[in-house]
Structures are given as C-alpha cells and as structure tokens.
Amino acid sequence: MDCWPAEAAAFFISFHTAQYALHRLARLQRGEVLLVHAGAGGVGSAAIQLGKAAGARVIATAGGREKVNICRELGADLAIDYREHDFVEAVKMATQGKGANVIFDPVGGDVFDQSRRCIAFEGRILVVGFAGGRIAQAPTNHALVKNYAIWGVHWGLFQRLFPQAVREAHRDLIALYQQGSIRPLVHHRFPFEQLPAALARLASRRTWGKVVLER
C-alpha cells in the first residue's frame, strides 16, 4: 500500500468492516440512501467514502460542528448534527418520507432505537458496534411490518472463516485507494510511550477518525 504508515495503520480494520457490511451483507446499490451514524469516526468515515464510491446518496450524523464538517468533506450529501437536530425527521424530510435503504450503526442503544423509525421498506440495518454503551433490543414485530433486515457485522469472524474473500475485498479496497476514492482519516499520531495521552484523547470524545500509536 503506497501510503504513509499512519494511514496504513488506520486502513485495514475500518475499511474492511465497512466494505463487508455495505457490500457483502447489505448489498448497497447505486442510488440507494445510506445513513451512516458516527460519520466522523474511524469506521463511520470509511462507510461514508465507500458509500459514495458505490454511488449511494449518503446521509451522515455526527456530534458538533467540526465533526459535521468532516462528514461533508468526506463526501456526505447531508450531514446532521444530532446534538442540534432530530436525525429521524431530517432523514424523512430528505427522502420524502421513505427513509434510508441502509443504516450503518456503530453506536447502538438509543441511536438504534431511533434508526428503526427512519428505515425504508425492505431496508437493512447494520449493527456494527455499541459505542453508545447500551445494547438495544429489537422488537421483531416492527421488522416484520416494515420488511427490514437487521444484520450483525462481525468482520473478525468473517475474516477467519473466509480468508480468500477478505483478500479479494482487500484488492478492491486498494484499487479504490489508488484511484483516490477512499482515504483513511487520521486524527493524531502519538509515540507509543504516550499511550496514556492517546487513551485520554480518545476518552475526551473530541477525536475524529483514528488515533494512531507509532513506535
């Protein structure tokens, strides 16, 4: 990979997770609406870029003006500050009430609960993580009525079970990187000796993209 080391460190897991979720599981199609939560985060920023590369219309959520602007810079067609606006209503308004075809959710908890209110008929919700702390419970009757699917995203297990598929996906990702369609988002680089400072920076919730440790 022809890039500086911090980008290489930030690339692998984030982009592979997003690629696996959006393409192998959700089968994201050109022209569909993709809602990405935590769009300025490591895996969220990857999902925005991969969604745009696939020809989707991308809506992203983030907390605060700086992170919202980062989502726009990454290519999001609409970026919503969830601290200031109800993302459910914003998504409905942007889609003429239809909702998002695919929702990429690394947050869980209340975000997952609210996302169910703006998923399109026959949509796909991708459960990527629980950064919000609470693991939501999904009422299956709601999924039945709206005909949507809930996909769990465990890329680590997929990597162990299907290594050849991961290698093929990696070739696709490298091609997108070389075309300039995707790029890892690195917030800050710390020497390994400053691990406590790096962890404190993460805990502050003021970071975006990836924090990289260097030896």
| pLDDT digits 0-9 by tens, 113-139 | 999 999 999 999 999 999 888 999 999
Residue 200's contacts (CB-CB under 8 Å, 6 or more residues apart) are none
Highest mean pLDDT pick, 7-21, 62-76, 126-140, 184-198: 62-76
Tell me the average pLDDT across 192-198.
82
Residue 20's contacts (CB-CB under 8 Å, 6 or more residues apart) are 153, 155, 158, 169
Higher pLDDT, 3 or 94: 94
Structure confidence at residue 215 (pLDDT): 79
pLDDT at residue 94 greater than cutoff 80 = yes
Higher pLDDT, 188 or 1: 188
Q: How far apart are CA 11 and CA 120, in angstroms?
A: 30
pLDDT at residue 2 greater than cutoff 60 = no
Beta bridge partners of 149: 124
Report yes or no: 118 and 141 within 8 Å, Cβ to Cβ.
no
Residue 79's contacts (CB-CB under 8 Å, 6 or more residues apart) are 39, 59, 60, 61, 62, 68, 69, 71, 72
Structure confidence at residue 204 (pLDDT): 74
Structure confidence at residue 41 (pLDDT): 93
Structure confidence at residue 4 (pLDDT): 63
Confidence bin at 174 (pLDDT 50/70/90): very high
CA 149 to the chain's CA centroid: 17
Structure confidence at residue 159 (pLDDT): 96
Question: Pairing state of beta strands 57-62 and 33-36?
Answer: parallel
pTM across the whole model? 0.92
Structure confidence at residue 9 (pLDDT): 82
Confidence bin at 85 (pLDDT 50/70/90): very high
Structure confidence at residue 201 (pLDDT): 76
pLDDT at residue 65 greater than cutoff 70 = yes
Q: How far apart are CA 26 and CA 20, in angstroms?
A: 9
Structure confidence at residue 68 (pLDDT): 98
Query: Could you tell me the CA-to-CA distances from 200 to 14, 39, 40, 51, 183 in Å, in that order?
Result: 21, 21, 18, 31, 25
Closest CA to 127 of 117, 116, 118, 141: 116
Torsion (CA) 196, 198, 201, 206 in degrees, nearest 10: -170
CATH 3.40.50.1460 is held by the domain 5-158: no
Residues 39-64: pLDDT tens digits?
Answer: 999 999 999 999 999 999 999 999 99
Mean pLDDT for the chain overall: 93
Structure confidence at residue 211 (pLDDT): 77
